[in-house]
A and B are shown apart, each in its own frame.
Chain A
Amino acid sequence: MKVEFINPFVTAAYKVLEQEAKTSVRRGELSIEKTAVTSEDVTILIGIVGGVRGMVLYGMKEKTAKAIASAMLNQQVLLFDEMAESALAEMGNIISGLATIDLEKAGYICQLSPPTVVYGRNTMISTVKIARLIVPVHTDHGTITIHVALSETGKG
């Protein structure tokens, strides 16, 4: 997998988190893993098909999920209800959507699946044969770890 695939997602995450979650953002070190992801409390999954195919995951602690949803909704989220879930899922959707604009410019036109939210720590999520590029993104609300597992389909 090309290391460049992760940059559109990190750039988009900066923009969306700064604007929607009203936070400063700082990226951590890039790493690559081939083993399954061990989930954090909340993980947003979005499938990608087209010029590249695979999955993008946004993992975070429950505390971070609530803080981000609170910032997006402009009200304190104590219980992670349907509206908080919708806000967080939309955050993943908008970050991924923005990233596809850069992927299109690089020659990869792709489509997104609707977001899925996985609750529960220590679930193993395997992207099967596709390695993951991982970048932690630190915000005032806590860290969101972005995992990008994409492979080229060869059709461009």
Chain B
Amino acid sequence: MAKILVVDDAAFMRMRASKLLTDNGYEVIEAENGLDAVEKYKAERPDLVIMDITMPVMDGIEAVKAIKSYDPDAIIIMCSALGQQAMVINAVRAGAKDFIVKPFQPDRILATVKKFLA
């Protein structure tokens, strides 16, 4: 069973994403900010990360850079309300593989996860 790390400071979004993924047979771990995500990534070595951008302590872009420097093969998908082009480019430059703009369509999340875990 593939393990997915869901990173979002909003408890509501963590719950939504976790429920969707566990209902579809994935194991889910959660982190509520970028620093928490980096620590959990190292400890749990998830197969894929779904990452918000605007978060306290450490934002999602910094967290992507930190995770990619620890594990260049990390698969990280951004999921943010900030879909401005400049932000998408920043995220991809940092090492994100894809960018999903909120409100996310459950099918889009599942299709993206499947694509990268195939």
Contacts and interface: CB of A to CB of B under 8 A. Distances in A.
Interface of A: 15-16, 19-20, 72-73, 82-83, 86-87, 89-90, 93-94, 96-98, 100-101, 104, 109, 111-112, 114
- Indicate the member of A16, A94, A109, A112 with the most B CB atoms within 10 Å: A94
Interface stretch (B11-19, B42-50, B64-72): B11-19
B114 to A, nearest CB: 21
24 contacts: A72-B12, A73-B12, A73-B15, A83-B11, A86-B10, A89-B12, A90-B13, A93-B81, A94-B81, A94-B103, A97-B80, A97-B83, A98-B81, A100-B83, A100-B84, A101-B84, A101-B101, A104-B84, A104-B85, A109-B86, A112-B54, A112-B81, A112-B82, A114-B56
Contacts, number: 57
Contacts of B85: 104
B100 to A, nearest CB: 12
* A contacts with B: majority SS: helix
B101 A98 contact: yes
B81 A97 contact: yes
B93 interface: no
B90 to A, nearest CB: 12
B101 A89 contact: no
A115 to B, nearest CB: 9
Contact of B10 (A73, A93, A100): A93
A72 B15 CA distance: 11
Given A104-B85, A112-B82, 12 more contacts: A19-B103, A19-B105, A72-B12, A86-B12, A89-B10, A90-B10, A97-B101, A97-B102, A98-B81, A98-B103, A104-B86, A109-B86
A90 B84 contact: no
A93 B101 CA distance: 12
Nearest to A18: B103
A90 B54 CA distance: 12
